[in-house]
Amino acid sequence: MKTIIEPFRIKSVEPIRSTTRAERQQLLAGVGYNLFHLKSDDVLIDLLTDSGTSAMSAEQWAAMMRGDESYAGSPSFDRFEAAVKDLMNFKHIIPTHQGRAAEAILFSILGGDGKTIPNNTHFDTTRGNIETTGAKAVDLLCAQGLTPSDLSPFKGNMDLNKLQAFMEENADKVPCVMITVTNNAGGGQPVSLANIKGAAKIARDFGKPFIIDGCRFAENAWFIKMREKGQGERSIPDIVRDMFADADGMTMSAKKDAIVNIGGWLALNDDTLAEKARMRLIMTEGFPTYGGLAGRDLEAIAQGLKEVVNEDYLRYRVRTNEYIVERLDKAGIPVVKPAGGHAVFIDARAWLTHIPPLQYPGQAVACALYEIGGIRACEIGTVMFGRQPDGTEIPAQLDLVRLAMPRRVYTQAHADYIVEVCEEIAKTSSELSGYKIVDEPPALRHFTAKFEVLGV
- Residue nearer to ligand F0G on the CB measure, 192 or 429: 192
Helices 295-308 + 311-330 axis angle, to 10? 70
Stretch that binds ligand F0G, among 15-23, 121-129, 326-334, 431-439 (CB under 6 A): 121-129
Residue 191 Cβ, how far from ligand F0G at the closest point, in Å? 12
Q: Does 180 bind ligand F0G (CB under 6 A)?
A: yes
34, 253, 320, 363: which one binds ligand F0G (CB under 6 A)? 253
Return the range that interacts with ligand F0G (CB under 6 A); candidates 87-95, 97-105, 169-177, 300-308. Answer: 97-105
The DSSP bridge pattern shows strands 249-253 and 343-347 to be: unpaired
Q: Applying CB under 6 A, which of residues 79, 92, 100, 278 lies at the interface with ligand F0G? A: 100
Binding residues for ligand F0G, how many (CB under 6 A)? Answer: 15
SS3 for the chain is CCCCCCCCCCCCCCCCCCCCHHHHHHHHHHCCCCHHHCCHHHCCEECCCCCCCCCCCHHHHHHHHCCCCCCCCCHHHHHHHHHHHHHCCCCEEEEECCHHHHHHHHHHHHCCCCCEEEECCCCHHHHHHHHCCCCEEEECECHHHHCCCCCCCCCCCECHHHHHHHHHHHHHHCCCEEEECCEHHHCCECCCHHHHHHHHHHHHHCCCCEEEECCCHHHHHHHHHHHCCCCCCCCHHHHHHHHHHCCCEEEEECCCCCCCCCCEEEEECCHHHHHHHHHHHHHHCCCCCCCCCCHHHHHHHHHHHHHHCCHHHHHHHHHHHHHHHHHHHHCCCCECCCCCCCEEEEEHHHHCCCCCHHHCHHHHHHHHHHHHHCEECEEECHHHHCECCCCCECCCCCCEEEEECCCCCCCHHHHHHHHHHHHHHHHCHHHCCCEEEEECCCCCHHHCCEEEECCC
If the CB atoms of residues 209 and 434 are measured against ligand F0G, the closer one turns out to be 209
Q: Is residue 119 near ligand F0G by the rule CB under 6 A? A: no
With binding defined as CB under 6 A, does residue 189 bind ligand F0G? no
Report the residue from 98, 189, 231, 321 that binds ligand F0G according to the rule CB under 6 A: 98
Question: Which member of 213, 228, 299, 379 binds ligand F0G (CB under 6 A)?
Answer: 213
Question: Which of the stretches 6-14, 69-77, 92-100, 231-239 binds ligand F0G when contact is defined by CB under 6 A?
Answer: 92-100
Residue 34 touching ligand F0G (CB under 6 A) = no
126 binds ligand F0G (CB under 6 A): yes
Which residue among 34, 184, 303, 429 contacts ligand F0G (CB under 6 A)? 184
Which of 32-40, 122-130, 155-163, 233-241 is the region at the interface with ligand F0G (rule: CB under 6 A)? 122-130
- Residue 215 as a binder of ligand F0G (CB under 6 A): the answer is yes
Q: Tell the smallest beta-carbon distance from residue 110 to ligand F0G (Å).
A: 16
Of 19, 108, 125, 310, the residue at the interface with ligand F0G (CB under 6 A) is: 125
What are 453's strand-pairing partners?
A: 435
* Residue range at the interface with ligand F0G (CB under 6 A); choices 96-104, 274-282, 283-291, 320-328: 96-104
Interface with ligand F0G in residues 42-71 (CB under 6 A): 49, 51
**CB nearer ligand F0G, residue 180 or residue 189:** 180
Residue 355 or 377 having the CB closest to ligand F0G: 377
Contact call for residue 157 and ligand F0G (CB under 6 A)? no
- In Å, how far from its chain's centre is CA 393? 25
For position 220 contacting ligand F0G by CB under 6 A, the verdict is: no
Q: Is 121 in the site for ligand F0G (CB under 6 A)?
A: no
**Interface with ligand F0G, residue 217, by CB under 6 A:** no
Residues of the shown chain interacting with ligand F0G in the complex, contacts defined by CB under 6 A = 49, 51, 98-100, 123, 125-126, 180, 184, 213, 215, 253, 255, 264
